Amino acid sequence: MRSSPLIFCGSSHPALGKEVASLLGTTLGKLSISRFPDGETHIEVLEDVYGKDVFVLQTIALDPNQYLMELLIIIDALKRASAKSVVVIIPYFGYCRQDRKDKPGEPITAKLVANLLTSAGTTRLITLDLHARQLEGFFEIPVDHILCQPVLMEAVNNKISRDRVVVAPDLGSIKIAKKMATLLHADLALIEKNRINPHDVKMTLIGDVRGKDVLIGDDMCSTAGTLAAAASKCKEGGANKIFGAITHGLFVSDALDRIEKSPLDQVFVTNTIPQNHTSPNKIVTLSIASLIANALQQLLRT
């Protein structure tokens, strides 16, 4: 690839795009993004990309339908402008939770999005902390899957005591929690959830947290219901300080208020999704721009 990267950024996360470009010693490529009167997206590439390797950064969150369609149009515009290759960087891969059929009549939307990205002209994908590793197999193009746990654990390690335990808030997060426990040299505990009826869930803490600092680890946080409930369960179990470590902070609805009212002392989250809210005192945002910049530098050396 070329030694000087040409990076474009959609409208979903311009701050992260600028940070990545700055770390690589360049600026974002010029791109016009506008709307027709009926709401359709209009894209115009304002750079010469003929025969060049280009990068596009877009996170598919908070307004996923709009940002996904915008990304597809940007890719198409670049390919039609004769770009040699289009490497797409998706910090948060939207629709990642719809990765299998749980019952007849349901779509596998993550596979559909993979097909759309490939058909639009994506030649390589860079993404961070996929909800399920099998999503890599949905693509017929190379996928670089970057893990964010080392960045999160480096920050957590300075806050949490040596008498520590990592808690998986449900069975689905056990692999992530185990990875965090390994990085922190900590014990592992689990919260098991059993549904009693359509409205009530019984939570059982499996493991000892009494007198210990607790880290609740997961890949994403949407409404913070699971995170806050897990923190309350750990507090009941005699935990000392309680922290959260989340890669993708969606924080929809009243999630931030729920975190503020919970026993959580602090929640560490990356900026794969813009954290444009007035962050509560408990939220600590960590940048993953250097992880993306390093991945691009490796590609540029090939």
How do beta strands 41-45 and 31-35 pair? antiparallel
**H or E stretch at 46:** none
User: Which residue among 193, 235, 241, 282 is the active-site one?
Assistant: 193
Cβ–Cβ < 8 Å for 213, 25:
no
CA–CA distance from 215 to each of 59, 131, 162, 182, 234 (Å)? Answer: 26, 19, 12, 12, 10
User: Which of 129-148 are b and which e, b meaning 16 or more Cβ less than 10 Å from the residue's Cβ?
Assistant: bbbbeebeebbeeebbebeb
CA–CA gap between residue 123 and residue 158 (Å, rounded): 39
CA–CA gap between residue 292 and residue 208 (Å, rounded): 37
What is the secondary structure of 123-165 as a DSSP string?
A: -EEEEES-SSGGGGGG-SS-EEEE--HHHHHHHHHTTS-SSEE
Nearest to 128 by CA among 273, 256, 29: 273
Q: Residue 82 is encoded by which pair of tokens?
A: 């004769």
Q: Is 193 a catalytic residue?
A: yes
Active site residues: 193
